[in-house]
Amino acid sequence: MSESDNIVAETAARIFADLADPQTVNAAKDAAWKAPLWQALEENGLTLAWVPDDLGGAGAAIADGFEVILAAGRYAAPVPIAETLLAGWLLSTAKLASPAGMMVPLPMRPRDTFTMKADGSISGRARGVPFARDAAHFAVLAEGKNGAVVALVAAASARLSEMRGIAGDTIYEVALENARPVGSAAATGIGKEALMVMGATVRSLATAGALEAILALSVKYSGERVAFEKTISKFQAVQHNLARLAGESAAATTAATSAADAIANAQSLAAPGIYLEAAAARIRSAEAATEGAAIAHQVHGAIGYTKEHILHRYTRALLTWRDDFGNESQWAVDLGNRVAAAGADELWPLVASR
């Protein structure tokens, strides 16, 4: 990790610790905590870390932004920091300036499609979009007559329909009907696959951070909870579960950071091995999220399911993130199809490329 990485990671961790403490957020009666948190993130250049200076951002390295995502995951930060980072990155690939405020990239799932018509308007629909109600703008990757186009669209141009996510949280269907973008430009070397690769890696990192947090919560709780005159951490069954949880956390962190490192050091998202890294991270971290959430709740028992306890803030986030930018089943099927199409002789070189 470079000195720049350290500074960015420390700054993000300090802001989240001071302004996004899960216990404080969980006990809050309204969303008054959100504005100071977002202001601090913006003032420190973290929301537009992936946007060059001349386009309104901080001009930080890709690795720096990934550190912000990992830190946000450790706090299950309920603000669109990941979405705004991705939106800024997408806009910058087309040399479009990023505005201040919260943004969300579209599409966020492989099957969602947006089209730019001959008159420059954009139409399309995306399902399962988080934070759409909070966003001031959408960064849209659309298909134009001459290839992919990136557009900045005001959120006021969209029609939003509320949906319920798998964890019971509010997500949205975002519909654009002949929306006029604030600005647009041809995408340079970026298509939907590249957006899904970046998004999947971002969600994998957030998942790794959240798993680290619930492991720490579970270890702490098991060392304090007393049953039959001894802490439950002394019971072999609980020790076994904690070891399993630690293994799932380590696997997710290893896969996610490997993908992030590959992207940060690649010349292009189309470079050999990048897709494999992102797919492996997405599949393994999603599996770890499912197993890890179940184990953490088992260790905590009934109290972990209560609204008053913070565990649910993490496990609900973990379950929700699995569907963004393609779920693990979609990635596994597509990866399998690619490996099969390449043939047996290409399998080992692909696996050994990292």
Say if residue 149 is in the same domain as residue 5.
Answer: no
pLDDT at 1: 44
pLDDT at 240: 96
Domain assignment of residue 155, given as a range: 102-188
CA distance 151 to 254: 34
Say if residue 222 is in the same domain as residue 290.
Answer: yes
In a domain? residue 89 = no
Pick the last residue of a domain from 188, 210, 244.
188
pLDDT at 270: 84
The mean pLDDT value for 145-173 works out to: 91
The mean pLDDT value for 286-304 works out to: 95
The mean pLDDT value for 223-246 works out to: 94
Say if residue 244 is in the same domain as residue 326.
Answer: yes
Higher local confidence (pLDDT), 208 or 78 = 208
Say if residue 219 is in the same domain as residue 341.
Answer: yes
CA distance 13 to 83: 18
Give residue-wise pLDDT tens across range 69-119.
Answer: 999 999 998 899 999 999 999 999 999 999 999 999 999 999 999 999 999
Q: State what percent of residues in the chain have pLDDT above 90.
A: 80
The mean pLDDT value for 164-173 works out to: 84
In a domain? residue 85 = no
Say if residue 201 is in the same domain as residue 138.
Answer: no
Say if residue 299 is in the same domain as residue 340.
Answer: yes
pLDDT at 68: 96
CA distance 205 to 281: 9
Say if residue 27 is in the same domain as residue 111.
Answer: no
Stated pTM of the model: 0.94
The mean pLDDT value for 15-23 works out to: 93
Say if residue 175 is in the same domain as residue 55.
Answer: no
Pick the last residue of a domain from 156, 188, 220.
188
pLDDT at 344: 87
Specify the CATH number for the domain of residue 122: 2.40.110.10
Say if residue 198 is in the same domain as residue 184.
Answer: no
Residue 337 has pLDDT above 60, yes or no: yes
Residue 180 has pLDDT above 90, yes or no: yes
What one-character DSSP code corresponds to residue 343?
-
In a domain? residue 260 = yes
Least confident of 30-39, 61-70, 268-277, 278-287: 268-277
In a domain? residue 58 = yes
- Long-range contacts from 235-240, C-beta under 8 angstroms, 24+ separation: 238/299
Pick the last residue of a domain from 133, 156, 188.
188
Say if residue 175 is in the same domain as residue 200.
Answer: no
Residue 260: which of 90, 61, 72, 87 has the closest Cα?
61
Confidence band of 342 (pLDDT split at 50, 70, 90): confident
In a domain? residue 197 = yes
Say if residue 62 is in the same domain as residue 148.
Answer: no
CA distance 178 to 26: 40
In sequence order, the 6+-apart residues with CB closer than 8 A to the CB of 244 are 291, 295
Compute CA distances 158 → 132, 136, 141, 153, whole Å: 9, 11, 15, 8
The mean pLDDT value for 272-290 works out to: 94
The string of DSSP codes covering 313-331 is HHHHHHHHHTTTTS-HHHH
Specify the CATH number for the domain of residue 272: 1.20.140.10
As for how many domains the chain has, the answer is 3
In a domain? residue 13 = yes
CA distance 110 to 159: 20
Q: Are 171 and 129 in contact (CB under 8 A)?
A: yes
In a domain? residue 226 = yes
pLDDT at 109: 95
Say if residue 184 is in the same domain as residue 205.
Answer: no
Mean pLDDT of the chain: 93
In a domain? residue 336 = yes
pLDDT at 28: 86
